[in-house]
Amino acid sequence: MNNTTISEARVTLGALLRKPYEALQTKVYAALAERGFSDVRPAHSSVFRYIKPEGSRVSDLAERADMTKQSMAYLTANLTDLGYVTIAPDPSDARAKLVVLTDRGRAVWEALVDLSLDAEAHSSARIGAERMTQLRAILSDLAKAMSD
């Protein structure tokens, strides 16, 4: 058996999608640290990516992120300790709790979006605006096709 990983053995669609995403993630989180949020890690993206503006239940975040409730509870507890979210009563169900972004959490969310758009603009400049527009259209179509 050779020393090739599964990803290296054959360039799959997953590998082609993953490599640019991993590079994007590395650049965005490095720039996020430069903006004063060095304690936010890529693992926290599962919270920031799926939280609703009015807050979300841990179980809903876990379902959207396709992870266990325990793992999501760990991430939200960590973000609570860091001051990015609070846990509040759910106004629609007194037994349930909502994870709600703090002002600092909203600042991270906004910075993540801005930095992602900056990285996209940089990539667009490298490959050309027309090709980036085509890539976005293809990826949108692919997402729809794969959800069927």
pTM of this structure? 0.86
What pLDDT shows up at residue 105?
Answer: 98
Helix axes 103-127, 129-147, angle to 10 degrees: 120
32's tokens: 């996020």
* pLDDT at 9 > cutoff 90: no
Residue with token string 């906004």: 110
Give dist(CA 109, CA 37) in Å, integer.
11
Per the DSSP assignment, residues forming a β-bridge with 12 are: none
What pLDDT shows up at residue 98?
Answer: 95
Q: What number is the average pLDDT over the span 106-112?
A: 97
CB count in 10 Å sphere of residue 114: 14
* pLDDT at 7 > cutoff 90: no
Which SS3 state, helix, strand or coil, does residue 37 take?
coil
Please say whether the structural domain 13-147 has been given the CATH code 3.30.2010.10.
no
* pLDDT at 89 > cutoff 80: yes
Determine contact, residues 68/56, Cβ cutoff 8 Å: no
The tens digit of pLDDT for each residue in 28-87 reads: 999 999 999 999 999 999 999 999 999 999 999 999 999 999 999 999 999 999 999 999
* pLDDT at 113 > cutoff 80: yes
Give dist(CA 95, CA 89) in Å, integer.
8
Domain boundaries along the sequence of the chain: 13-147
* pLDDT at 1 > cutoff 70: no
Q: How many helices (H) and strands (E) does the chain have?
A: 7, 2
Determine contact, residues 60/19, Cβ cutoff 8 Å: no
25's tokens: 């993630």
